[in-house]
Copies of this chain bind each other. A is one copy, B any other.
Amino acid sequence: MKQFTRVMKALSDPNRVRVLKLLQRENLCVCNIQEFLKLAQSTVSRHMKTLEDAGLVEHERQGTWIIYRLTDNQESVYGAAMLAHLENWLEDDKELEQMRLKRDQVIENTKLCIT
């Protein structure tokens, strides 16, 4: 039960869902996520911890960067199912489209940590 509600709670915040939708396309460092979402760094860091505690993302250090990615081999059936759904869900969301435009701008300026 706790494991299930933890995943649901992680998915109940729009900014965290935006992070997951971003990570569908590419693995990202905190600073880029911060830039796309226009949130304070500390706020993003906390959201990432919530997502990681729910088993939805995992991280890896690359120098000074912490690269986050969607968890591949889920230990949680709930997380796995929800990530699978999110591949299709919200694909035509207007808000997310805006965020992707921002992402494309950053990529043009080659300010992406991981290319």
B-contacting residues, A73-92, CB 8 Å: 77-78, 81, 85, 89-90
Residues of chain B with a CB closer than 8 A to A77's CB? 89
What per-residue 1/0 map shows which CB atoms of A1-38 lie under 8 Å from chain B?
A: 11011001101111001000000000000000000000
**B78 with A4: CB separation less than 8 A:** no
A77–B89 Cα gap in the complex (Å)? 9
Residues of chain B with a CB closer than 8 A to A1's CB? 14, 17, 90, 93, 95-96
Give the distance to chain B from A107, nearest Cβ to Cβ, in Å. Answer: 23
A85–B78 Cα gap in the complex (Å)? 9
- Show the binding face of A for B, using Cβ within 8 Å: 1-2, 4-5, 8-9, 11-14, 17, 77-78, 81, 85, 89-90, 93, 95-96
User: What would be 26 A-B contacts, judged by CB atoms less than 8 Å apart?
Assistant: A1-B14, A1-B17, A1-B90, A1-B93, A1-B95, A1-B96, A2-B14, A4-B11, A4-B17, A4-B89, A4-B90, A5-B11, A5-B12, A5-B13, A5-B14, A5-B17, A8-B8, A8-B9, A8-B11, A8-B12, A9-B9, A9-B12, A12-B12, A77-B89, A78-B89, A81-B85
